[in-house]
Amino acid sequence: MFVLIRTLAYATLFIGFLLIYLPERLLGWSGIARPASIDAPQIAGLLIGTAGAALALWCVFTFAFIGKGTPAPFDPPRRLVVRGPYRFARNPMYIGAALALAGAALFYRSMPLFGYVVLFLLVTHLFVLIYEEPTLRRSFGEEYQAYCGSVRRWWPRAGRGTREEGTGNRK
């Protein structure tokens, strides 16, 4: 139960800062207000944003219940998470967050917010390469290597997940 509380606390801080506070500040700074009407771009943005948020939340709960840890680098899962959305891509939490941001950018028709999405993806990719993957290799060794061999970092293979249903990936 304590791991769930920690997970929700860390996820709320991450989501609140990177996916709500900073985008809101960017929209305010660029003078973009809520659209006066809901048209096709807003509906598409809502659908994409909702799908991204749902994916990110699925990942958060997968970390807590299967990995027995949190998404925070300083309190990681104790088991390598390769179930749930991690069967299809090694970084679905970041994909979900980027989709949520892209949905907001589309909803507001905001080029600065689209730029933020690109920056988020670039920083996230570098974080994965420089910190996460080396840490996961040290922590989970051959199990993580095998997982990397069967699941792509960002783009899911059509109709395929991991070859083995293991118990756990951090992100």
Residue 160 lies in a domain: no
**pTM listed for this prediction:** 0.84
Query: What does the pLDDT read at residue 160?
Result: 52
Query: What does the pLDDT read at residue 42?
Result: 93
pLDDT tens over the chain, length 171 residues: 677 788 888 888 888 888 888 889 989 898 888 888 899 999 999 999 999 999 999 998 898 888 887 777 777 788 899 999 999 999 999 999 999 999 999 999 999 999 999 999 999 999 999 999 999 999 999 999 999 999 999 998 776 544 444 444 444
State the residue range of the domain holding 22: 2-150
What single letter denotes the amino acid at residue 9? A
Residue 91 lies in a domain: yes
CA 25, CA 108: separation in Å to the nearest integer? 13
3-state secondary structure of 151: coil
Residue 171 lies in a domain: no
Residue 164 lies in a domain: no
